[in-house]
Amino acid sequence: MAGILNRTLIVPPVLDHHAVALGSCPKFRVLGPKEIRVSVWNHVLDLVKTGRYFSMADIIDISSLVPSSIQAIDFRVFALLWCNVNMDFTCLNDLNAQSSLFDSLNLCGSILSGIHGNVDKCLYAVDEDCRTTVWTYKNGDEDRVFDSFQPDEQLKKKKKISYVRRRQDVYKSLGPGSEAGLATVLAFGSLFTAPYKGSELHIDIHEARRDQRIQSLIDNSEFLPFVPEILNAGKKFALETIKAPFLCAQLRLLDGQFKNHWKATFQGLKQKLEVLKQSGSKPIHIFVMTDLPQGNWTGSFLGDMASEANHFKLHFLREEDELVMKTAKNLAVAGHGLRFGSVPRSLNGESKMKMNCPHQRLPDILLYIEKSVCSCASLGFVGTAGSTIAESIELMRKSDACSKS
């Protein structure tokens, strides 16, 4: 979207799981864009206050896109400039002394969230969301036509809703010549999208054959790897700890819908293991990534595998493992996120923003290292159906992320 609209991308932090819940687009039950912007801003301030702020660019390597294809700026740098805060808030250890800082940031956030509407040529708050709009770009279709997915009559009556989903060209609606195009800051709500019933939930821009610049950007952003520190950690665990061909099993068993589908989740793994038993030597090495604590494995297929040491050798990572802790420290020192965009400088030329903080909490990166390990699994991968984590690992394996690290 930033490339199409020729705007600088503000790179956000990694949010806590479930900290900001969009809701369900298929059920037309979602938080509105204003509410999402407010929730995100408040959560970002909480991350800063508790020393847990880490940029998505600290985790995902976007150097192949920035600045060659798009311009980007770290959210902290943007907030420092836009909110006119004359203080480095990347490292805070005395929150009481900084209460006035957060008062200023809260006020700035309420304006940027669009609670009070658009602000002249300063801010345009986008109110379209997945209930009303599917964004497109130069696809040859007439603008604002009905999308193929609409709320059914039963849902309309039950929830008393009257939404109509239209397909809108994002460049025509928000680009040059539009009201949004005049604003310095363009603020969306959620841009989450996924295929659904022959359409897309919110963004249907998979190609742009009429615009080679954007087509190149789409192609290059199809897969963005983790930063080298994470990829190297996963490869190191595979080579130096597992030290054998192995299978990766991603078993999501507790969260949401997945806790009701243990049988189906384990069935795919059982079938894969039967094939490996017949064709390979024993024990079969398996890297397990799961949200089920090891103390609760008893009585499950995981517990059965753990008890069959002659057949299976299980490997897993924990947050307190030295490899995970060391990688987290390396990431904190690297400060990849603050390397994008210009970091403000004080009058004496010194950088006003520290690249890392000695008292900052280490980032929670266990999941990312686990994904990297799974990308190196030479005996294959078994994931949980419907899990976006499994989809991400499949893409890493397809893109040969392990051998490129």
Structural tokens at position 259: 């806790």
Return the number of other C-beta atoms located less than 10 Å from residue 345's C-beta.
11
**Residue 239 CA to its chain's centroid (Å):** 27
d(CA 154, CA 165): 16
How confident is the model at residue 259, as a pLDDT?
Answer: 77
- Are 259 and 388 in contact by the 8 Å Cβ rule? The answer is no
Q: Is 156 exposed, middle or buried (0-12, 13-18, 19+ CB in 10 A)?
A: middle
Taking a C-beta distance cutoff of 8 angstroms, is the pair 272, 231 a contact?
A: no
DSSP classification of residue 254: S
What pLDDT is stored for residue 103 in this prediction?
Answer: 85
pLDDT of residue 297: 92
Positive or negative, the CA dihedral 189, 195, 197, 200 is positive
* Calpha distance 394→383 (Å, rounded): 9
Using 50 as the pLDDT threshold, list the residues of the chain that sit under it: 97, 346-350
Domain 228-319+364-404 annotated CATH 1.10.150.570: no
Domain boundaries, the chain: 9-220, 228-319+364-404
Contact (CB, 8 A) for 299 and 325: no
Dihedral (Cα; 386, 228, 242, 403), 10-degree rounding: 80
Task: For the beta carbon of residue 126, count every other beta carbon within 10 angstroms.
Answer: 21
> What is the spatial distance between Cα 273 and Cα 267, in angstroms, rounded to a whole number?
10
Residue 347: the pLDDT is: 36
CA 346/CA 316 separation, integer angstroms:
46
